Structure formats: structure tokens, C-alpha cells
């Protein structure tokens, strides 16, 4: 790698972006090929890792440009000319990376603020409904609707069902609706969705991952409901009846029954549960691990690069000859 070893840094910096694009392309297939609970967990873990790694490499790339400023170099005890001479990435790329990092920080902060606000709004709604966590709240409304309102991050909340929907369903189908919304609360699906949304804010290449996670949490609740009631066809029929009765999906931070691909979810419930596909799970795990390792390696390479830039080149030693040159002695000089 030379005096200031950074030759492989451009490849390491690009790797999280490549894996983000790959995960974004694969997400719609993965959420349908794997059991929903496993798919959601894998996609969120992969998205968060890719987003964090991308933010890190953007920060490192932008930092390399700042490291050329004499004042910054003096504070860091490295040589600004050496950094400028050995830069592995063009200055324009470093400048764009720095600007992109600032934009990402703003987007992530906004996404986190939105989640905090929606969480507070849901908690206020739960307080207005009264009762305890997991309680069923029946509202007087002719509009058929059912949704879960999470009360914080602990898995509690309220299950809200309108009288209009109850009138449209049989007792067995009502049980399916209650189990579906309870599964949302028990699985903390709002947290998984929020993590995916923050990852998408940090890296737009993961947009399809966010959509897949929202769909996957509904499928997760569907599968949990089918196991709870012990009848996949009953679960599919209740979902179909509720979807036909509902005029629209429930907006906002609550988790509604009839959102995100109802027809496809019904078709999935009419078939067997998705296979485990352990090999796919292992491959996704390896991809996540390699992405994290690449980001870590970029951090270590950058530190080593600046550390080497702070060292002065050692002065060249005086040439030595062998055997030593013979120097004639003066008369009367003692001989050793």
C-alpha cells in the first residue's frame, strides 16, 4: 500500500452503497419468499446496517477533505501536504460526500422526530380510550375499520374496532380481527416499521426495503392470526370480508387490518405457510456481516492513513564502507 496505505479505500467506501442497492432490489422477493417474521427481522437488520455503514463512509470521505486544511491538520498532528498528496479519492467526491452526509443527518433527524411525534400521539389516543394495555375498544361508527394503537415501545396498546365492522363479520371472523391486531401489538410491529423508515431516510436506495417491511408486518400478523385461530381459510375469509366492508385503509401511525396488499395476503393465507429457506437467511446474514466489516475497515484505514501522514520520513543514514578506509599515521603517533 505504500507509505500511506489507502489503495483499497475507494472499494471499501463503495461497498455499503452496492449492498444497499442489492438489498433494495431483493427486498420485495425476500419478504414473500421467507416466513414474514424472519423476513422483517432480516430486512430491518440489513437496512439498518447498510444505512449506518453508508453514513459512516460518507463521513469518512468528507473528513478526508477537511484533513487537508492546515488548521485541522495541526489539531490532528498530521501533515496537510502529505494528506493532499496521497489522497485516494478526488476532492470533488469528498466534497459531495460531505454534503450528502449533512443531508442524511437532516433526513434521519426528521424521521426520528416524526416517529417520536407519532408515538406521543398514539399514547395520547390510548389515554383517551382509557383501560389497560391490550384492551379492546369498540367505537360507535358506521364506517368498518379495525386498527391497533401502540402505547409506546413496550408492546402494549389498544385494539380499536368499529361497530360497523363488527356488524359485517361473524363471531369467528371477529376473533380473527382481534387476533390480528393483538399480533401487531405483541410483535411491536410499529418499532420494526420505524427502524425501516429511519434506514430509508439515511439511504434512499433502501426505499423498497421500507415498503417490504410495512407489508411484511401485515403478513407477520396474518400468519400469527392463522396459528392462533387454527384455520388459515377462516383467517383469509375474515380478511376478505373486512377489506370489502372497509371504505379505506386507516391512515397515520396506527396499524390497520386492511392495508398493504390485501389481495396478495389473502392468497398467501389460502396456501401453505412460507418455507424457512435457511440458505437465504444465511446469505443475508453474510451480506450484513461483510457490509459491517467493510465500514469498520474503512474507519481503520482512514485512521491509519492520517497516522502515517503525521510521521516524518526518517533521515537517510550516512553511507558506510567496508572495510574502513586506511588512514596513514603521522610519525611518532602511537599505534593502537
Condensed to tens digits (0 to 9), the pLDDT of residues 143-185 reads 888 888 988 877 788 999 999 999 989 999 999 999 999 999 9
In b/e form, how buried is each residue of 223-245, taking b as 16+ CB within 10 angstroms? bbbbebbebbebbbbbbbbbbeb
Q: What's the average model confidence in pLDDT over 290-317? A: 67
Cβ 227 vs Cβ 185: under 8 Å: no
Range from 45-54, 112-121, 256-265 carrying the lowest mean pLDDT: 256-265
How is residue 306 written as a grid cell?
492520517
pLDDT digits (tens, 9 = 90+) for 227-273: 999 999 999 999 988 888 775 445 455 666 666 788 899 999 999 98
* pLDDT value for 95: 86
* pLDDT value for 128: 87
With a pLDDT cut of 90, the percent of the chain lying above it is 44
DSSP state of 324: P
How many Å apart are CA 216 and CA 41, to the nearest integer?
10
How many Å apart are CA 78 and CA 307, to the nearest integer?
7
Q: Are strands 157-162 and 135-139 parallel, antiparallel or unpaired?
A: parallel
Chain-centroid distance, C-alpha 174: 35
Give the Cα-Cα-Cα angle 268, 195, 129 (nearest 5 degrees).
Answer: 80
* pLDDT value for 312: 47
pLDDT digits (tens, 9 = 90+) for 9-39: 566 678 888 899 999 999 999 999 999 999 9
DSSP state of 108: H
Which of 43-57, 65-79, 255-269 tops mean pLDDT? 43-57
Q: Which of 176, 69, 51 is nearest to 105 (CA)?
A: 51
For 37-100, the DSSP string reads HHHHHHHHHHHHHHHHHHHHHHHHHHHHHHTTSHHHHHHHTS-HHHHHHT-SS-HHHHHHHHHH
Q: Which of 155, 146, 150 is nearest to 118 (CA)?
A: 150
Range from 92-96, 171-175, 244-248, 316-320 carrying the lowest mean pLDDT: 316-320
How is residue 149 written as a grid cell?
394503537
Q: Do you find a cis peptide bond into 323, omega within 30 degrees of 0?
A: yes
Range from 27-36, 74-83, 191-200 carrying the lowest mean pLDDT: 74-83
How many Å apart are CA 156 and CA 158, to the nearest integer?
7
The pTM is what?
Answer: 0.80
Indicate the pLDDT class of residue 313, thresholds 50, 70 and 90: very low
* pLDDT value for 83: 63
Cβ partners under 8 Å of residue 167, min gap 6: none
Indicate the pLDDT class of residue 311, thresholds 50, 70 and 90: low
Q: What's the average model confidence in pLDDT over 119-142? A: 86
Amino acid at each position: 500500500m505504500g507509505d500511506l496505505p489507502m489503495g483499497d479505500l475507494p472499494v471499501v467506501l463503495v461497498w455499503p452503497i452496492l449492498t444497499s442497492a442489492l438489498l433494495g432490489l431483493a427486498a420485495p422477493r425476500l419478504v414473500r419468499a421467507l416466513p414474514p417474521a424472519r423476513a422483517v427481522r432480516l430486512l430491518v437488520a440489513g437496512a439498518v446496517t447498510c444505512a449506518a455503514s453508508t453514513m459512516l463512509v460518507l463521513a469518512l470521505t468528507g473528513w478526508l477533505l477537511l484533513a487537508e486544511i492546515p488548521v485541522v491538520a495541526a489539531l490532528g498532528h498530521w501533515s496537510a501536504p502529505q494528506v493532499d498528496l496521497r489522497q485516494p479519492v478526488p476532492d470533488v467526491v469528498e466534497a459531495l460526500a460531505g454534503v450528502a452526509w449533512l443531508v442524511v443527518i437532516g433526513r434521519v433527524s426528521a424521521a426520528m422526530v416524526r416517529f417520536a411525534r407519532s408515538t406521543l400521539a398514539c399514547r395520547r389516543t390510548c389515554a383517551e380510550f382509557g383501560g389497560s394495555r391490550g384492551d379492546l375498544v369498540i367505537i360507535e361508527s358506521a364506517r368498518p375499520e379495525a386498527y391497533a394503537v401502540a402505547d409506546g415501545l413496550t408492546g402494549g396498546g389498544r385494539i380499536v374496532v368499529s361497530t360497523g365492522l363488527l356488524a359485517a363479520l361473524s363471531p369467528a371472523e371477529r376473533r380473527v380481527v382481534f387476533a390480528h391486531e393483538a399480533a401487531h401489538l405483541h410483535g411491536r410491529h410499529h418499532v420494526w416499521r420505524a427502524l425501516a423508515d429511519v434506514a430509508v431516510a439515511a439511504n434512499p436506495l433502501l426505499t423498497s426495503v421500507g415498503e417490504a417491511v410495512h407489508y411484511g408486518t401485515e403478513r407477520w400478523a396474518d400468519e400469527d392470526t392463522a396459528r392462533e385461530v387454527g384455520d388459515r381459510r377462516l383467517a383469509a375469509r375474515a380478511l376478505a370480508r373486512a377489506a370489502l366492508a372497509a371504505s379505506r385503509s386507516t391512515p397515520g401511525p396506527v396499524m390497520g387490518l386492511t392495508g398493504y396488499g390485501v389481495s396478495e395476503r389473502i392468497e398467501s393465507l389460502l396456501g401453505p405457510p412460507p418455507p424457512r429457506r435457511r440458505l437465504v437467511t444465511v446469505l443475508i446474514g453474510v451480506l450484513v456481516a461483510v457490509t459491517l466489516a467493510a465500514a469498520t475497515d474503512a474507519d481503520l484505514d482512514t485512521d491509519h492513513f492520517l497516522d502515517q501522514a503525521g510521521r516524518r520520513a526518517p533521515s537517510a543514514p550516512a553511507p558506510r564502507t567496508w572495510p574502513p578506509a586506511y588512514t596513514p599515521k603521522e610519525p611518532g603517533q602511537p599505534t593502537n
